[in-house]
Amino acid sequence: MSAAAASAGPILAVENLKRHYVTAGFLGRGKYTVKAVDGVSFAIGRGETFGLVGESGSGKSTTGRLVLRLEEPTSGRVRFEGEDISALPQSALKPVRRRMQIVFQDPYAALNPRMTVGNFVGEPLVVHGVAPDREDRMARVAALFRKVGLDPRFVDRYPHQFSGGQRQRVGIARAIALEPSLIVADEPITALDVSIQAQIINLFQDLQEQLGLAYLFIAHDLSMVRYLCHRLAVMWRGRIVELGPTEAIFEDPRHPYTKALLSSVPIPDPDRERNRQRLVFDPDTLRAAPDQPMVEVAAGHFVLA
């Protein structure tokens, strides 16, 4: 595919992706299947922020790992920059790994405690042979530090000498070191102090503007998702039950699960908040058959019937 054709389509297209785990039952008796991801489809445009929300265990992180090929799908396809990467052997994934990066929830667990943060940020440049010369590399690392709002004089420090927010900035600097086009961010602000969360969100937005990045943003905090994401998908038990422009979903949720999820968010207007009713979702109302496609209820707004 030519570069022009590739740039016209979505940066990421996930088609009917499934990941089933077969687990031994109680005391090893019998087997049962956990359908962690069970037929998920969505596409992300260049420079777009696409949110993935849903309760704990709904399959959000598994979807993220499948997109990155950190895990193998049971079935389905992942197209990245026009190329079907679900069929590639792990050995052929290196160029893909350069263009698609991850930012983790817990920056401390992601960092290597015995490696200086400068070397940590510069490591992908070594692995991919981008800046083999140390001086050149350290200049690039310093530029990356500035880009994420860290003082480049701190390159020789170790992770424990940083605050949570600073560590997440280090993780982000490493993620953008190879100039990716897509970043999968799995709950990247959940572990941070509330006062720091907005700063990191702003950093994600600034970098998107500067670098034209697309994000797959996995999150719990719905107010943050509303602020940050252009479109979003709501997951429930391994499936997407609703997908559409963020405002359409917040203003006009159609699926009973989405309605229940949104009704749990406090409204910053006292009059409306006083009248807010929390809805309870009854799973038995979900009638959709396993491979049933979603219905488009408004432009770009899809709901599982």
Ligand X SMILES: Nc1ncnc2c1ncn2[C@@H]1O[C@H](COP(=O)(O)OP(=O)(O)OP(=O)(O)O)[C@@H](O)[C@H]1O
- Shortest distance, position 60 Cβ to Mg ion, whole Å: 5
Name which of residues 113 to 142 contact ligand X (CB under 6 A).
none
Q: Which is nearer to Mg ion, 44 or 218 (CB)?
A: 218
Residue 139 φ/ψ region, left for φ over 0, alpha for ψ in the -120 to 50 degree band, beta for the rest: alpha
Q: Which is nearer to ligand X, 61 or 86 (CB)?
A: 61
- Shortest distance, position 90 Cβ to ligand X, whole Å: 18
Decide which of ligand X, Mg ion, none touches 181; Cβ closer than 5 to 8 Å per partner kind. Answer: none
Q: Which is nearer to ligand X, 58 or 168 (CB)?
A: 58
Q: Which is nearer to Mg ion, 37 or 131 (CB)?
A: 37
Q: How far apart are CA 240 and CA 236, in angstroms?
A: 6
Q: Which is nearer to ligand X, 38 or 81 (CB)?
A: 38
User: Does residue 61 bind Mg ion (CB under 5 A)?
Assistant: yes
Q: Parallel, antiparallel, or unpaired: how do β-strands 83-84 and 75-80 relate?
A: antiparallel
Q: Which is nearer to ligand X, 21 or 227 (CB)?
A: 21
Residue window 55-84: x/- pattern of binding to ligand X, with contact defined by CB under 6 A: -xxxxxxx----------------------
Decide which of ligand X, Mg ion, none touches 39; Cβ closer than 5 to 8 Å per partner kind. Answer: none
Decide which of Mg ion, ligand X, none touches 34; Cβ closer than 5 to 8 Å per partner kind. Answer: ligand X
User: Does residue 21 bind ligand X (CB under 6 A)?
Assistant: yes
Decide which of Mg ion, ligand X, none touches 62; Cβ closer than 5 to 8 Å per partner kind. Answer: ligand X
User: Does residue 41 bind Mg ion (CB under 5 A)?
Assistant: no
Distances from the Cα of 75 to the Cαs of 38, 39, 234, 302, in angstroms? 9, 9, 21, 22
Q: Which is nearer to ligand X, 57 or 164 (CB)?
A: 57
Could you tell me which of 281, 264, 282 has the C-alpha nearest to residue 273? 264
User: Does residue 36 bind ligand X (CB under 6 A)?
Assistant: yes
CB 53 within 8 A of CB 36: no
Residue matched to tokens 């900035």: 169
- Shortest distance, position 280 Cβ to ligand X, whole Å: 19
Which span (50-58, 90-98, 151-159, 277-285) binds ligand X, by CB under 6 A?
A: 50-58
Q: How far apart are CA 156 and CA 218, in angstroms?
A: 31
Q: Which is nearer to ligand X, 115 or 262 (CB)?
A: 262
- Shortest distance, position 220 Cβ to ligand X, whole Å: 6
User: Does residue 32 bind ligand X (CB under 6 A)?
Assistant: no
User: Does residue 58 bind Mg ion (CB under 5 A)?
Assistant: no
User: Does residue 23 bind ligand X (CB under 6 A)?
Assistant: yes
Question: Would you tell me which residues interact with ligand X (CB under 6 A)?
Answer: 21, 23, 34, 36, 54, 56-62
Question: Would you tell me which residues interact with Mg ion (CB under 5 A)?
Answer: 61
